[in-house]
Amino acid sequence: MMHFLATYGTQLLSKTGQHLLISAAALGLGVIVAVPLGILLTRMKHGANLVMSLAGVLQTIPAMALLAMMIPIFGIGSTPAIVALFIYSLLPILRNTYLGMQGVSPTVRDAAKGMGMTWWQMMTRAEIPLAAPVIMSGIRLSATYVIAWATLASYIGAGGLGDFIFNGLNLYRSDLILGGSIPVILLALLVDYLLGKVERAVMPKPLR
Amino acid sequence: MLLSMEHLRKEYPNGKIAVDDFNLEVDRGEFIAFIGTSGSGKTTTMRMINRMLNQTSGTIKINGKDISKMDPVKLRRSIGYVIQNTGLMPHMTIQENIEMVPKLLGWSKEKREEQAHKMIALAQLPDEMLQRYPGELSGGQQQRIGVVRALAADQELILMDEPFGALDPITRESLQDLVKHLQKDLGKTFIFVTHDMDEALNLSTKVVIMSQGKQVQVDTPENILRHPANEFVTNLIGEERLIRAQPNILTVSQIMLKNPAAITPDKTLEDAIEQMHERRVDTLLVTDKTGVLQGFVDLDDINRIADAHTPVSRFTQDRVFYVKANALIGDTVDRILKKGVKNVPVVDEDKRLVGIVTRTALVDIVYDALHGAPDANEKPASPINADIHAAATREGGEMPQ
């Protein structure tokens, strides 16, 4: 253990950094796209199901295949990895945003509108605050997925902790496999914990 | 005129006509109840007033201004809105909820806070409650907040969509008292959608009865009870309620016997006895020449007097209990029954004798109110009671005191 850290310590840190960066970028993009899209879907009578099933289909593409498919478009490196992980992050966020917004009681919406809120005020002061915990739990779920799957990104040369694991597999070195896996697990747990805190923070006080 | 609605019509794309040729004028301080079966268009009509729905044709004017030319957001901020299940924002404190519209209108923080304290007092709830969340309050308390929230920005007109439908009867009653107080003492104007006839009749100054998008009857609660426009209205009100309402809408003049046995004070004892014999009664009411009630004479008193030429004025008892002809039965029945008298003279505004109410007629009314009598309102009261009256006065020596 000490020996492993002495040998690979700096590498481990930089790979963890890479891993985190790829995951964060993918998740960030996912949030930017899926949250507004999910809100928009609740405003449309049709199309919600179509978009949701499309996102569902994207989710079923095997991770390896999706990564491989990115290569002809984006080449190798972190860009194709981020795009692929972004696609994976969409569904949980999209679905939770949609459900969260749908879950806002029609009475509240009616009252908000009837008292003279504009569309934007209804969104920002009533609906989004009330849907926030559900949206946030979707983001949290996506974050864990993305961190786990970012391991595969090393396969298309994006780096990250996956490099340890793939090297370990090729060289039959279990210490390398574990040295990559354990940080991934810890990272996923840590991020999940932190986002759980955020989820609680955005939750309306009386519901905590 | 605060609000006027002319030839309002709402037709949905599928061809369903929700509201058809709706007309209504509402004065400041009125309490209008929209009542009808579900699908009668009452809620649709109400929601057109704050443009939650837009009419297909017709005009709505508030203070003479056509609301279709106003910004719907601004319009809604100027109209109070209360809905069933409160519509309070669960993630905001009571204070934030009350301050909502004032905040949208850009009031200063100090002014908003002051208003919140004023409003919670108006709702008759403790000031500390401002810091609580809606979920911590009972349903009745929440709806109290819902009601005062609709007034927080000094709205003149308040729309209420079945606001008390989900509350238990006792809580509902206390909420009804609250809104009645707001209407009467603060002069607020309410438009109120309900399916509870008692609520409509008790609270409103005007009831709008709707069926299939049309107004069936628009009138005061008293007039609706007195003259239901058609069978639909009768059914909606309910036979029971119509009978029960009788004491509250019938006036004394409607159940009194006209032409009571009366005599003037200048007549003699002989005349009095003769008249008693003729009318088969044992008491006579005494009126002066202009018909003003002076008192009564009783057969018992007459017996003690020997001289047949004694004038009536000598043995007139002037302590007489009477009721006004335009008084409501409901207000007088208790007083009459408590007095324990068999009959009571009825006088007009100038204290002129116009008739007499018998105890039996009152008993009939009380009985009907308790047990219901479907044919009670068809039966003309007088002829039957005339016999009873005669009989009662024959046997009884007791006279109004």
Residue spans per domain, chain A: 11-207
Instruction: Output the pLDDT for position B370.
Output: 67
CB distance B83–A130 less than 8 Å? no
Residues 6+ apart with CB under 8 A from B333: B247, B362, B365, B366
* Residue in B354, B340, B347 with CA at minimum distance from that of residue B399: B340
Residue B391 lies in a domain: yes
CATH assignment of A11-207? 1.10.3720.10
**Partners of B4 in the β-ladder:** B25, B61
Phi-psi domain of A132 (left: phi exceeds 0; alpha: psi -120 through 50; beta: other)? alpha
Question: What pLDDT does residue B377 have?
Answer: 47
Summarize the confidence of residues A7-16 as an average pLDDT. Answer: 84
Residues B119 and B191 in one domain: yes
**Average pLDDT score over residue span A143-149:** 91
* Residue A36: partners with Cβ closer than 8 Å, 6 or more residues away: none
Q: Does B134 sit within 8 Å of A108, measured CB to CB?
A: no
Residue by residue, pLDDT tens for chain B (401 residues) are 889 999 999 999 998 889 999 999 999 999 999 998 888 889 999 999 999 999 999 999 999 999 999 999 999 999 999 988 888 999 999 999 999 999 999 999 999 999 999 999 988 899 999 999 999 999 889 999 999 999 899 899 999 998 888 888 888 888 888 888 888 888 899 999 998 888 888 889 999 999 988 999 999 988 888 888 888 888 888 877 777 776 667 778 878 888 888 888 888 888 888 888 888 888 888 888 888 888 888 887 777 776 778 888 888 888 888 888 888 777 777 777 777 777 788 888 888 888 888 877 777 777 776 665 544 444 444 444 433 333 333 333 334 44
B342 shares a domain with B257: yes
Q: How many CA atoms lie within 13 Å of B140's alpha carbon, on the beta-carbon side?
A: 14
**Is B199 part of a structural domain of the chain?**
yes
Sign of dihedral through CA atoms B337, B339, B341, B345? negative
Distance CA B45, CA B64 (A): 18
Nearest by CB to A126, which of B77, B89, B136? B89
> In this complex, do A114 and B135 lie within 8 Å of one another by their Cβ atoms?
no
User: Residue B248: which of B332, B358, B356, B371 has the closest Cα?
Assistant: B332
In chain B, the residue whose alpha carbon lies closest to the alpha carbon of A132 is B91
Residue B154 sits at the chain A interface (C-beta within 8 Å): no
Residue of B399, B279, B286, B392 whose CA lies nearest to B339 = B399
| Rounded Cα–Cα distance for residues B283 and B285 (Å) | 7
Q: Under an 8 A CB cutoff, do A116 and B84 touch?
A: no
Residue B204 belongs to a domain: yes
**Structure confidence at residue B393 (pLDDT):** 38
- Residues of A whose CB is below 8 A from B102: none
Mutate to test the interface with A, among B43, B86, B91, B98 (most CBs of A within 10 A): B91
Q: Which chain B residues contact residue A204 at CB under 8 A? A: 90-91
Q: What is the layout of strands, in order, in the sheet containing B57-62? A: B17-26, B3-11, B57-62, B65-66
> A116, B90: Cβ pair inside 8 Å?
no
Three-point CA angle A116, A118, A124, nearest 5°: 115
Q: How many domains does chain B have?
A: 2
Among A14, A26, A16, A17, CA closest to A144: A26
Q: What share of chain A is helix, strand, coil (3-state, %, to 5)?
A: 85, 0, 15
Domain assignment of residue B376, yes or no:
yes
Could you say which of B238, B262, B297 is where a domain stops?
A: B238
**What is the DSSP code (8-state) at residue A125?**
I
How far is it, in rounded angstroms, from Cα B388 to Cα A2? 116
Please say which residue of B193, B209, B238 terminates a domain.
Answer: B238
Q: What is the dihedral of CA B219, B333, B400, B352, to 10 degrees?
A: -10
What is residue B384's predicted lDDT score, i.e. its pLDDT? 40
Distances, alpha carbon A36 to alpha carbons A31, A127, B12, in Å? 8, 13, 31
Whether residue B228 is found in the same domain as residue B282:
no
H-run or E-run covering B4: strand B3-11
Chain A residue with minimum CA distance to B72: A116
H helix intervals, A115-205: 119-121, 128-149, 162-171, 174-202
Spatial strand order of the sheet with B262-263 comes to B262-263, B283-287, B293-298
Query: Which domain CATH number covers B66?
Result: 3.40.50.300
Contact between residue A124 and residue B113 where contact means Cβ atoms under 8 Å apart: no
Residue B42 placed within a domain:
yes
Distance CA(B81)–CA(B59), nearest Å, equals 20
> Does B43 share its domain with B104?
yes
Residues B385 and B353 in one domain: yes
Edge-first strand listing for the sheet containing B31-36: B79-83, B157-161, B189-194, B31-36, B206-211, B214-219
Are B256 and B387 part of one and the same domain? Answer: yes
DSSP conformation letters of B61-103: EETTEEGGGS-HHHHHHTEEEEETT----TTS-HHHHHTHHHH
Q: Which two tokens stand for residue B399?
A: 């006279």
Distances (CA, A) of A19 to A11, A151, B223, B372: 12, 8, 80, 83
Residue B61, token pair as written in the block: 């004017």
Identify the domain boundary among B175, B205, B238.
B238
**What does the pLDDT read at residue A122?**
92
Q: Is 70 exceeded by the pLDDT of residue A118?
A: yes
How far apart, in whole angstroms, are the C-alpha atoms of residue B355 and residue B92?
64
Q: Is residue B246 part of a domain?
A: no
> Are B261 and B232 members of one domain?
no
Spatial contact of B132 and B171, defined as CB atoms under 8 Å apart:
no
The CA distance from B301 to B305, in Å, is: 7
Query: Do residues B218 and B160 share a domain?
Result: yes
Select from A107, A111, A206 the Cβ nearest to the Cβ of B91: A206
Q: What is the pLDDT of residue B73?
A: 94
Nearest to B256 by CA among B229, B285, B227: B285
Same domain, B298 and B232: no
Alpha carbons A85 and A150: distance in angstroms, whole number: 7
Q: Across chain A, what does the average pLDDT equal?
A: 88
SS3 assignment, position B106: coil
Beta strand B206-211 pairing with B31-36: parallel
What is the Cα–Cα distance from B63 to B69, expressed in whole angstroms? 13
Q: What's the pLDDT at B225?
A: 86
Confidence (pLDDT) at B373? 52
For residue B290, give its domain range.
252-395
In a domain, B400, yes or no: no
Nearest by CB: B52 against A114, A130, A206? A114
Distance CA B400, CA B317 (A): 10
Position B156, amino acid: E
B244: in domain? no
Specify the pLDDT at position B86: 82
Contact yes or no for A112 and B89 at CB 8 A: yes
Is B371 found in the same domain as B344?
A: yes
DSSP character at residue A126: I
My answer on whether B85 and B163 are in the same domain is yes
Query: How many of the other CB atoms lie within 10 Å of CB of A27?
Result: 26
Q: Are residues B335 and B229 in the same domain?
A: no
Give just the sign of the alpha carbon dihedral B47, B49, B51, B55: positive
CB contact under 8 A, A126 and B73: no
